[in-house]
Each structure stands twice: as C-alpha cells, then as structure tokens.
C-alpha cells in the first residue's frame, strides 16, 4: 500500500513528500472488518489506530507523549522557532470512509483545555467553493474553530459535516488540527462517526 502511494507521488510530481510517506507507519485497512461506522485513533501511552492514522512527526508537525489531567496523551511542539502554528495531522486509513464513501460524518477531538490558544480543525471536503489550494478544491475546509479557556479539564470539540471527501489531499492527509497562540495543544485522540445521509 505504501509502495503504491510512493509510486503515485513520483508519477504526479510530488517527490518532496516521499521521504515523509516512507517514514510514516502504515495502517492496513484490511485488518478492520468492512462496514464499520466509526473509526478512531487514541493517542495515549500507546497509540491505538483503528482506521485513522496519527502523524507523530514530519517536516511540518511534531508531537510528543505527555500526561495531563490523569491521562496519557500527546502534545504539539513548535516545529520551527518563531512559528505561530502547530499542526496535528490525521489520515483516514479505512476504505469505507475514504474518497467520499461516507460524506456525512461527526468528527470529535479529545483535548485537554489548558492555556489560551485558538484551535481550528480543517478537513478534506467535496465543497467546490473552498479553494485554499485552487488545484484541489474542497481541501482545507474549516470544520470548527474554538479557544482553549484554561479549565484544566478534558473536553471534546465536536462538529458534523456532510461533505467529507477524505482523499488525502491535505499534504497527503485528511484532517489537520491547527493551533495558534503561545500554548501547545494536548490531545487524546480523534474519532470519526458516520451519520445517516439526509
């Protein structure tokens, strides 16, 4: 599966991403039974990926394990000195959710509410009006934006979408959590649930 992605990147002129792809762990979608309505990754003492992969480190992201609020979790780390943003990337790795297979979804981020920072979650959508990158309309669509309020408790950021594409068009991934501000984000995982089509 990884070899196919590397070949595709070479064929389409994206050779600069090959090193990162080769370094990423592979989540084999065949190990999960077909027909699941929920995929998730739990980012704890060990990372449990069930149809959803979490990128620990690459040229654009770095995350480290921590403890917060009595739980094992992960925390963003500023990748470059002076950078205003930190990123957490997730990739759908389950065929029943990829490539517009389940457009109606609920996305849930588990996070530890500490500090004062703005957090935005963007995802790969089918929305033709979103042209952050004109050659890939729909990629980088904003799902939700919220602020950390320093309650020092575990919370969830939840939002529903009806246009999920999940075709790996956001730097080869599907969901990006963006953190802006002076604090890092501590997170415990991400869940995607399929919803009934309206």
Q: Is the pLDDT of residue 3 over 70?
A: no
DSSP state of 26: P
Q: Is position 151 within any domain?
A: yes
11 within domain boundaries? no
Chain mean position to CA 49: 12
Rounded distance between C-alpha atoms, residue 8 and residue 46, angstroms: 31
**Residue 136 falls within a domain, yes or no?**
yes
The answer to whether 126 touches 162, Cβ cutoff 8 Å, is no
Q: How far apart are CA 186 and CA 198, in angstroms?
A: 34
Asked if the structure places residue 12 within a domain, the reply is no
- Kindly list the distances between the CA atom of residue 156 and the CA atoms of 87, 112, 122, 178, in Å, as whole numbers in the listed order: 18, 9, 16, 15
Rg (CA), the chain: 16
Structure tokens at 163: 């246009």
For position 153, what pLDDT does the model report?
Answer: 98
Kindly state whether residue 8 falls inside one of the protein's structural domains: no
> Range of 55's domain?
35-194
Give the pLDDT score at 47.
Answer: 93
The model carries a pTM of 0.81
Residue 25 belongs to some domain of the structure: no
**pLDDT-derived band at 30, boundaries 50, 70, 90:** very low
Average pLDDT for the chain: 89
How many domains does the chain contain in total?
1
Q: What six digits make up the tokens of 135?
A: 């050659």
> Of 97, 100, 90, nearest to 128 (Cα)?
100
What mean pLDDT is predicted for residues 30-44?
A: 87
- CATH number reported for the structural domain that contains residue 145 in this entry: 2.60.120.260
Q: Looking at the domain assignment, is residue 14 inside a domain?
A: no
Number of residues assigned to the chain: 198
Interacting residues of 65 by C-beta distance below 8 A, sequence separation 6+? 45, 72, 73, 74, 75
Query: What does the pLDDT read at residue 148?
Result: 94
**19 domain residue, yes or no:** no
């Amino acid at each position: 599966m990884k070899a196919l992605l590397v070949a595709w990147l070479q064929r389409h002129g994206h050779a600069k991403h090959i090193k990162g792809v080769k370094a990423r762990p592979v989540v084999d979608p065949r190990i999960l039974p077909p027909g699941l309505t929920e995929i998730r990754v739990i980012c704890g003492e060990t990372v449990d990926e069930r149809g959803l992969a979490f990128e620990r480190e690459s040229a654009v992201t770095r995350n480290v394990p921590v403890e917060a609020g009595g739980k094992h979790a992960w925390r963003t780390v500023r990748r470059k000195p002076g950078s205003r943003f930190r990123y957490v990337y997730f990739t759908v790795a389950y065929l029943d959710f990829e490539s517009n297979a389940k457009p109606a979804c609920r996305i849930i981020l588990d996070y530890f509410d500490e500090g004062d920072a703005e957090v935005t979650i963007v995802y790969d959508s089918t929305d033709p009006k979103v042209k952050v990158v004109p050659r890939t309309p729909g990629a980088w669509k904003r799902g939700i934006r919220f602020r950390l309020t320093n309650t020092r408790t575990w919370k969830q950021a939840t939002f529903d979408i009806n246009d999920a594409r999940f075709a790996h068009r956001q730097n080869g991934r599907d969901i990006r959590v963006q953190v802006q501000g002076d604090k890092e984000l501590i997170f415990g995982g991400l869940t995607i649930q399929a919803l009934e089509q309206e």
